[in-house]
Chains A and B, each alone.
Chain A
Amino acid sequence: MKNNNRYQREPLTDTQLLMSITIVIFVVMYLLAMIILQGGFLHPQQIFDMLNDNASLIIVSCGLTVVMIGAGIDISVGAVTSLVVMSCVMYLNNGGSIAGSVFLALCIGLAFGMMQGFLISYLDIQPFIVTLAGMFLARGMTTILSVNPQKVEHEGFAALRSIKIEINALGYTAPNGNFIPARMELGVVVALLCIVFIFILLKYIRLGRGFYAIGGNQQSALMLGINVKRTRFLSYIISGVLSGISGYVFMMHTGAGNATNAAGMEMNAIASSIIGGTLLTGGVGNVLGTFFGTLTLTTIKKIVVSSGLNDPWWQSITTGGMLCFFILLQSVVLNRRNRKK
């Protein structure tokens, strides 16, 4: 990457540098897996499976990236996802319509985003505490709705769930001679749309540049004439709405609501954002990096499983080790750059 610098007119920004490290590592890791482990990694369906399973995580991470760029944190996202799943399942089972359930999901997300955003930006309370309370509230409300797992029994929704986008070009022929096309769920499309939307927002729209400004230095952002409070408020609203959408996508994937749904999702989302090069101090980050961060995190888990480390503890120990590696790498790279300046 250092050689590339010479041919560019401007040196890479921190955001671009961290993101390109992630992408390079992801590609190298996947290629190594393809060469050494072979098996499922040779089929394109592996990537689609990873996307299908993690569509909601990707959406949540996008929202979290926006909040983290604005130097905030939102740990309520997993709990809101779970609340949305449970309430939409209950709503559909009690004779609701699909449009109504989508509306409900968006409203719950928006309500949490607005509540947390108001408390954080206008009342100046620490984001960690507010979103921790939001997390408790959403988890508690989920169990108040139902402690037992609920399955969706709605015909329209079942039809919606079964829609899968089939890509013949990337399919493969199974050993028994059947041709299996690559399958992608609707949720993945939603996730990709979210990524595109957030990418455009962060890159080309004034509000998105404002997130970087308030994350980088709040005082200078204020002097530039940015409405800091409103910008921060909006960042939490985006994160809230995206967790609402993520809840709906989660429900489309699992088709059932459970009080332990999306447990620990907030930490996975934070980890994805960090691997993707977003700094918790704010001002640095990119949503494409987050996308690859999620993929990297998933690939590590897949590699551990397929390389035969079957003991239940290896998955999270390797994830932790990988996280450690990325965090140290970022720290070393950024420190070295800052010293050069």
Chain B
Amino acid sequence: MKNKKKSFGGLGQLTIPVIALCLLVIFNLVRDMLFIYYFKDPNYVSFFSIELTKNNLDNMVFAGNLISIINGASELAILAMGMTLVTAACGGQDISVGAAAAIAGSVFVKIIKMSPWVNGIVVLFAFVCACIVAMIFGSFNGTLVAIFKIQPMIATLILYTCGRSIAYWINGGATPTVSSPVISAIGSFIPGIPIPTPVLIVIAMAIVFKLLFKFTALELFTQSVGINQSAARLNGINSTFIKLLSFIILGVCVAVSGCIGVSRLGLINHETLLLDIEMDTILAVAIGGNNLGGGKFKISGSILGAYVIQMLTITLYSMKVSSTDVKAYKAIVIILLVVIGSPVVKEKFGKLMSKLLGNRSKTAVKGA
């Protein structure tokens, strides 16, 4: 299946995230140049420097801005993968992922706390339980969307409203902590491996999705349900099941990211765990060039989108912007990105270019 409508560069829908990443890299390069060669600031550390240091557990680990970007975006990237599927199948977004992740995290901590000792098997069991709970909540959302035909945003508004309170309820009104080498290995580093574990989990999840699309027809089915539901039904695709399945898969992603979030801090705080992540996730899907109205999708675009968001945040942090003010600058960048990516602007720009370059390039623009 060849994508007929390729925009400039032949990157297809990956144009926006790739351009955004390039712009951010160029911006940071220019800033590095300015500080190192022009101001000659001796204390300035290059944005791209990566160093091998010892952490507090005496492991050799990588550290630097780039590492904190790919590490910090892990939860976002995992959620974005699941959200892309939901967006493609249902033409709407799940706004309850943050709340559901808080519930999954609470279950994870609750089960670890119940066990008298903590080892790998207990943690695995707790993770499986968290997955099951998140899948149940996912199928609740999915049932509302697929069977009762409610728009996803409204259906998930229910869990968004009460999810964090349910997490609070599970915790019994406390913010319990867990400390164990296994948990810290999941949240930060496995001894002997200098790459943060969340990054490895993202890679594993991406491979799982790739295999899923390679060996099943899930991608094709999801796209056809998203593009035209009745046509898909006439072709023998069970659209209700596909929609439900997409929410259940998102539930697994939610559980994974919730457990990573808990393991990072070693505690569960229902109010602050993955706060506002639903908005960032939807943003990652949109920056990835996926249509929020459903249909064609690319998971790689969403993952790139997640890294764009995190890179933007870290760039702003490195410029000494306070964490509360970051939102305003983020908003300006988002507006610029979507304006560049908007079809109307592209068309106007194309016309302008063809006027400037004469008739010769007219056909080229039409093909774009």
Contacts and interface: CB of A to CB of B under 8 A. Distances in A.
Interface stretch (A32-40, A116-124, A155-163, A180-188): A116-124
A267 B293 CA distance: 21
* B interface residue count range (under 10 / 10 to 19 / 20 to 34 / 35 or more): 35 or more
Nearest to B330: A136
Contacts of A93: none
B265 interface: no
Q: Which of B282, B286, B293, B331 has the most CB of A within 10 A?
A: B331
Nearest to B167: A313
Interface stretch (A42-50, A102-110, A244-252, A315-323): A315-323
B162 A319 contact: yes
A149 interface: no
Nearest to A115: B335
B326 interface: yes
Contacts of B331: 133-137, 140
B93 interface: yes
Nearest to A134: B331
Contacts of A134: 331
B15 interface: no
Interface residues of A, number: 47
Nearest to A280: B151
Interface stretch (A84-92, A207-215, A230-238, A324-332): A324-332
B324 A259 contact: yes
A133 B154 CA distance: 20
A146 B326 CA distance: 14
Contacts of A1: none
Given A128-B292, A129-B283, A280-B154, A320 B344 contact: no
Contact of A140 (B158, B173, B325, B338): B325
B326 A316 contact: no
30 contacts: A119-B335, A119-B338, A119-B342, A123-B342, A124-B344, A125-B339, A125-B342, A126-B292, A126-B293, A126-B338, A128-B286, A129-B292, A129-B338, A130-B335, A130-B338, A134-B331, A140-B324, A143-B322, A143-B328, A147-B322, A147-B324, A259-B324, A270-B157, A271-B157, A315-B165, A316-B164, A317-B166, A319-B161, A331-B149, A332-B148
Interface of A: 73, 119, 122-126, 128-130, 132-137, 139-141, 143-144, 147, 259, 267, 270-271, 274, 279-281, 311-317, 319-321, 323-324, 327-328, 331-332, 335
Q: What 4 pairs across the A-B complex have the smallest Cβ distances? A: A140-B328, A320-B162, A137-B331, A140-B327
